Amino acid sequence: MNTRGILLVVSGFAGSGKGTVMKALMKEHDNYALSISATTRQPRRGEENGREYFFVTKDKFESMIAHEELLEYAQYVDNYYGTPKFYVDEQLAAGKDVILEIETQGALIIKEKYPDTLLCFVMPPSIKELHRRLVERGTETEDVIALRMQQGIREAQAIEKYDYLVINDDVDECVRRLHETIQSAHYSTTRNKEMIEK
């Protein structure tokens, strides 16, 4: 069986709980490596450089683009976000399943470059619940929340291009379903062609 890790992209609306789900998945299972994105946005309270994100200046980010040091990048609500290459390649080769928590634009770029990538979209059970979660976070103004809701409408147009949809109405259940989905992918015939051909 193929021992190389699986590249998994998890996307979801801001407020869908994807970050909470990823933290719980990583805590429960040691076979995952969470890719850390680079961003030009300001850190939120409690975030640390190199843990949640690599916080960089716009000039540094544009230098990373110019030197092709990113798997993908996109601009989202006036900030850049991107995935540094070196860490992802290293973890996949070591057999870890690498999770990229990125928006839909970047996810589709990754899928185009790496067709074996597994795309999963995390959603709240309703739009009303999504708005409630954004307000309760207390990290954005009403204007930013409105922008995030508009961005969510645009992102919804890409959902049909994803391999799996996971509803986050209960974090533990969402983690279980996501883990089972990823583990099943290891046994797909497309990932094990060499074994089949023997």
Domain assignment present for 1:
no
Backbone angles phi, psi at 99, to 5 degrees: -105, 125
The 10s digit of each residue's pLDDT in 19-29 is 889 999 999 99
Domain assignment of residue 142, yes or no: yes
Neighbouring C-beta atoms of residue 29, cutoff 10 Å: 13
Write 153-157 long-range contacts (CB < 8 A, 24+): 155/11, 155/13, 155/103, 155/104, 156/13
Q: Are 182 and 6 a contacting pair, CB within 8 Å?
A: yes
CATH number of the CATH domain containing 40: 3.40.50.300
Q: With respect to residue 170, please indicate whether it lies within any of the assigned structural domains.
A: yes
Task: Report if residue 112 sits inside a domain.
Answer: yes
Q: Is residue 2 in a domain? A: no
pLDDT digits (tens, 9 = 90+) for 125-167: 777 776 677 777 777 788 887 787 777 777 778 899 999 989 8
Return the pLDDT at 152. 75
**In the chain, % of residues over pLDDT 70:** 95
Quick one: pLDDT at residue 70? 94
- 162 located within any domain: yes
CB within 8 A of 178, min separation 6: which ones?
A: 10, 21, 25, 120, 122, 166
Q: Residue 24: what pLDDT?
A: 94
Look at 32-36, 129-133, 148-152, 176-180 and tell me which has the smallest mean pLDDT.
129-133
Q: How many domains does the chain have?
A: 1
Residue 62 has a pLDDT of 96
Where in the sequence is the domain holding 181, given as residue range(s)?
7-197
